[in-house]
Amino acid sequence: MYNYFKFVLTFIFIQGFALVGFSQGVSMSPTRLFFTGNPGETVTQNVVIHNGSANDYIFNINVKDWNREEDGTKVYFEPGILKQTNSAWISTLEKNINLPAKSTQEVLVTMKIPANASTVEMTNSMLFFTQIGKQKDELKLDKGIGIIALFEFGLHVYYTPAASNSVSVDIISIEATPKQVDNSQAVAIRLFNDGSVVNDAAVELELTNMDSGEEIKLTPINLSMMPGTYQNITHKLPENIKGKYAGVIIVKMAGSNDLRVGEKSFEF
């Protein structure tokens, strides 16, 4: 009979934007790679990983498919499953990398664009850098209860055909959601990316009380959308808001001076 229990808790953190870092002292830049080129070409970019900690780390490099659900949640799949995948196009010189303490390494990411690649449709995948537990961690676990805190970087990889440059989004609907049991209220906005590139946008909601003229400007919500996809976002309203309001939705798109504006009257 065992007189103790052994278990492992593994924590995986996936980061998706700009330069990211962990309490472990490891950071990666960038965390999104945008490749462009013509069918048949081979293109490369460098990823810089820095280990500012006193610990040595080992990472396995692997690829997965992914998409974003309409509520913004990312869902991951085995490589080669999704229609818009480019996972088979991506390679690195090594499958595992050693990152000693206080060191910086560059990882060359290569994309070989197939000769029959679409000249109009974007593709994407996720390149993961997954920490590998070391032997000394396993030995510690053999002695009893232990926790291994592993972490993982997720690097977005996009391919945009050379001729694709349309930045556009359409406001599909603006609706007040039903009041919740805690009396909280919100405005739901549904968007569609009708452009041909990834759309990074900020969605603002401004409300003006029709009787008093009081203005309420809510914190913008940032989002990122693949072409041909929908996304739903929800602006939570201030507590105890009541009365008739004129609402204005403003969508500001990165890489474009165009705005998308929608208007809706509400009674809360």
What is the structure's pLDDT at 4? 35
Q: Which of 20-34, 54-68, 186-200, 212-226 has the lowest mean pLDDT?
A: 20-34
- Compute the average pLDDT of residues 219-233: 97
How high is the pLDDT of residue 181? 87
CA-to-CA separations, 234 to 33, 58, 209, 244, in angstroms, rounded: 28, 40, 20, 19
Cβ-based neighbours of 117, under 8 Å, separated by 6 or more: 39, 123, 159, 161
- The reported pLDDT for the residue numbered 24 is 65
Question: Which pLDDT band, with edges at 50, 70 and 90, does 152 fall under?
Answer: confident
CA distance 247 to 220: 14
Average pLDDT of the residues in 246-253: 98
Provide mean pLDDT across the span 203-215: 97
What local confidence, expressed as pLDDT, does residue 70 receive?
A: 97
The more confident residue out of 247 and 145 is: 247
Q: Could you tell me the two tokens for 117? A: 């690649």
Res 81 pLDDT > 80? yes
* Percent of the chain with pLDDT strictly greater than 90: 78
pLDDT in tens, 156-171: 999 999 999 999 999 9
Confidence of residue 248 (pLDDT cuts 50, 70, 90): very high
pTM here? 0.84
Which residue, 27, 23, 75, is CA-closest to 47? 27
Q: 69 - beta bridge partners?
A: none
pLDDT in tens, 113-147: 999 999 999 999 999 999 998 755 554 545 555 55
Q: Choose between 166 and 23: higher pLDDT.
A: 166
Cβ atoms 47, 30 nearer than 8 A:
yes
pLDDT at 143: 52
Domains of the chain in sequence order: 20-161 (2.60.40.10), 170-267 (2.60.40.10)
127 in Cβ contact with 155 (< 8 Å): yes
**pLDDT of 11 higher than 70:** no
